[in-house]
Amino acid sequence: MSPPPSVPIRPTPGGRLAPTALLLASALLVATPSRAAAQESPSPARATGEESASPATSPAAARPQVLVVALDGLEPTLVRELLAEGRLPNLARLIGRGTMTTIECVVGSTSPVVWTTVMTGVPPERHGITDFTVDGVPATSTARRVPALWNVLPRHDLRSAVFGWLVTWPAEARSGVMVSDRAYWGRFDDKVSPPGVLDPAAYHFNGVADTSFLPRFTSWPYDADLSDRTPDDPSYAVDFLVHRRLVNAWVHDTTFARMAEDLASRYTVDLLAVYFQAADYTGHGFWKWHEPEPFRAAGVAVDDAELAALGDVVRNAYVFLDELVGRMTALVDDDALVVVLSDHGMGPGLGDYAVEGDFLSGNHRDEGVLVLSGPMVRRGVAPQERITHYDVLPTLLLALDLPQVLDHRGRPLLECFTDAFLAERRLRFEPTWGPRDGGGAVERSEHDQEILDELRSLGYLK
């Protein structure tokens, strides 16, 4: 089969891709539409199969491994503050071999929507995950109407392992290794694909019983038994938060990290993607102790004893996540591209970001973190235009030397890569990844009500 339409990348001396290269490439594609379509549009077998390999991969460019670490709710200003204090050594090392910038939320900051957009490249109204729920049911992978990156990689004989990415239950067959976001509850079918590749139950900590890790986060005298107390009890709210937003997040993130480590010791993959939730969970729950001043100024009482015990929970969660970033980085090659990003930031739940109720005090800010790191990344480069979550997938495709997709919204962040790396790549295009056969229908489960109750009790759903 002849190669797809392509155009060499010609960075300017300043490292910027000449915009004409993109225009030229588009023009080339437009000039030969039938040929391009014949070569590039997914055949029905590909669209349905997500499994068939394609011979159309480039033989030329060296292809680095790619690691994506998704840190839900990681706030850029707090990352900078902790970096300055030397408390995030793993992120500091990554940034020293690359760059850190902010990423704008242009599809809102509802996490399942953003994380699905990151891996599909198209707007929520097209991919179909527009909220935590679809048709009143907790969103499931079956409701996604378009392929995600992990569905497309097998077409190019590339392997992926995806851990805990939002809206990946049921785990998707023929898409590499996938441990779905519902795995850690330990009570769902179809948690893992291929079946039996690992058993999440074997990794699941009983976090409520074993809270010996808590002193690294807080000196609060945690009492896990909420059963004989009511929300009027002054300690109830804090124990509820420690349980639901700190212990559970620690269990979740530690469990997924251990599964990724075990899998990586057995398999080599081209793409490793892991999702962690501790920044979002602790940020929502503990922000008024993390940053009490604006709350007190707004007339919200912040108790001094609580402040002494809980004031560092959020910071300590960031330090914990930095350790996980270091552990995940250790699973890939030294010359891998490492991408660390958040779906949104976090700030006091006041003013523009006001929240209601005693059990939430932090709320989303519409800006997240983006770190790109590796030998192919230009050190300390400032992106030339604003970056959005749409730009992540084209950048991953560039790194993996796969064709850009014309109906994806974003752009590859060419200015962030070295000339030597870009010189090895040929920018190729395909019109679309097409629809996902059978996608669009949410899958019901016997646990839907339980999940809805959980989302409501944590304030994610009204």
CA distances from 351 to 77, 108, 165, 458 (A): 18, 18, 31, 20
CA angle at residue 315 from 271 to 281, to 5 degrees?
65
Distance separating alpha carbons of residues 149 and 360, to the nearest angstrom:
34
- If the CB atoms of residues 280 and 306 are measured against Zn ion, the closer one turns out to be 280
367 touches Zn ion by CB under 5 A: no
The H or E element containing residue 305 is: helix 304-310
Mark the segment that binds Zn ion (CB under 5 A) among 125-133, 182-190, 245-253, 273-281: 273-281
Per-residue binder mask for Zn ion (CB under 5 A), 201-230, x = binder: ------------------------------
Mark the segment that binds Zn ion (CB under 5 A) among 222-230, 279-287, 304-312, 431-439: 279-287
User: How many Å is the Cα radius of gyration of the chain?
Assistant: 22
3-class DSSP state of 430: strand
Name which position in 75, 253, 280, 291 contacts Zn ion (CB under 5 A): 280
The H or E element containing residue 369 is: strand 367-373
For the CB of residue 281, give the shortest distance to Zn ion in the complex, in Å.
8
- If the CB atoms of residues 347 and 374 are measured against Zn ion, the closer one turns out to be 347
- If the CB atoms of residues 113 and 398 are measured against Zn ion, the closer one turns out to be 113
- If the CB atoms of residues 73 and 124 are measured against Zn ion, the closer one turns out to be 73
What are 336's two structure tokens?
């891998």
Question: Please, which of residues 54-73 interact with Zn ion by CB under 5 A?
Answer: 73
Mark the segment that binds Zn ion (CB under 5 A) among 33-41, 59-67, 276-284, 448-456: 276-284
Quote the DSSP letter at residue 28: H
- If the CB atoms of residues 280 and 430 are measured against Zn ion, the closer one turns out to be 280
Relative orientation angle of helices 19-31 and 33-40, to the nearest 10 degrees: 90
For the CB of residue 1, give the shortest distance to Zn ion in the complex, in Å.
45
Give the distance between the most distant pair of CA atoms in the chain. 72
For the CB of residue 167, give the shortest distance to Zn ion in the complex, in Å.
15
Distance separating alpha carbons of residues 325 and 200, to the nearest angstrom:
21
Mark the segment that binds Zn ion (CB under 5 A) among 1-9, 92-100, 280-288, 327-335: 280-288
**Pairing assessment for the beta strands 367-373 and 337-341 based on DSSP bridges:** antiparallel
Number of amino acids touching Zn ion (CB under 5 A):
2
- If the CB atoms of residues 349 and 412 are measured against Zn ion, the closer one turns out to be 349
Quote the DSSP letter at residue 243: I
314 close to 283: Cβ distance less than 8 angstroms: yes
For the CB of residue 284, give the shortest distance to Zn ion in the complex, in Å.
6
Residue numbers at the binding site for Zn ion (CB under 5 A): 73, 280
